[in-house]
Amino acid sequence: MITIEQMTKVYTMGEIEVHALRGVDLTINSGEFIAIMGPSGSGKSTLMNMIGCLDTPTSGRYALDGIEVASLNDNDLSAVRARKLGFVFQQYMLLPRQSALANVEMPMLYRGIETKERARRAQVALELVGMGNRLDHRPNELSGGQQQRVAIARALAGSPSVILADEPTGALDSTTSEEIMHMLQQLNREQNLTIIIVTHESDIAAYADRIVTIRDGVVTTDRKNEVSHV
């Protein structure tokens, strides 16, 4: 459950103040599959960083599962990220010399989950994304789509409240993009995962159940997506 009220973010670059967010209101319930859209410079990346607890707003309120994130210090933000969030990046961001299993286990290292449990959850997560037979493969032995599946397994292994995917198909061809989006959709429906994707492509956003458009730092449209792909 995410509650954002009147969130603003101002960056100071030299003498220029950049108003990246100018008062965003947004509520995301658990189990939702939502796409945040907007052109570059709209503030969608800033909003994603805020939701991802990578940064704190200049003013306004952000509550994630009842935790008031806006007032947390750096260490507390790390602890919230470790437990509440799973990240999926455009460039997969896998550690190149580590196996798929080790990559999926990595985030759990930072929250005191014991070794056996870590390995078990990593394996289950990899099976869930269809990579159960590639546990020992290194990223350079996997295709782009497979790497992104490993990255998704990494995001969900710790059972976060929210999976935050930043242009998850940006580096993939259209067939693989479809596979990945179908998988995210399936994970959302079957596992009741809350998924937020940030994208500028409307056919990728079309997989989500709700599409929020942001422009010039404010939410301009927020609608149910009636014709989502099946």
Given the rule CB under 8 A, which residues bind other proteins? Answer: 31, 49, 52, 54-55, 74-75, 78-79, 81-83, 87, 89, 93, 95, 97-98, 106-114, 117, 121, 124-125, 128, 154, 156-159, 189-193
Q: Which residues pair with 34 in a beta bridge?
A: 196, 210
Kindly state the smallest distance separating residue 175's Cβ from other proteins, in Å: 25
Kindly state the smallest distance separating residue 217's Cβ from other proteins, in Å: 17
- Bridge-based pairing of strands 85-88 and 162-166 is parallel
Structure tokens at 95: 């550690």
Kindly state the smallest distance separating residue 9's Cβ from other proteins, in Å: 12
Closer CB to other proteins, 78 or 176, in the complex: 78
Residue whose structure tokens are 């709700």: 210
Closer CB to other proteins, 82 or 142, in the complex: 82
Rounded CA-CA distance 178/172 in Å is 9
Rounded CA-CA distance 206/23 in Å is 26
By C-alpha distance, which of 42, 23, 45 is closest to 198?
Answer: 45
Q: CB–CB of 68/61 below 8 Å?
A: yes
Tell me the Ramachandran region of residue 181: left when phi exceeds 0, alpha when psi lies from -120 to 50, beta otherwise. alpha
Closer CB to other proteins, 8 or 78, in the complex: 78
Kindly state the smallest distance separating residue 222's Cβ from other proteins, in Å: 22
Closer CB to other proteins, 117 or 203, in the complex: 117
Kindly state the smallest distance separating residue 221's Cβ from other proteins, in Å: 26
Closer CB to other proteins, 110 or 136, in the complex: 110
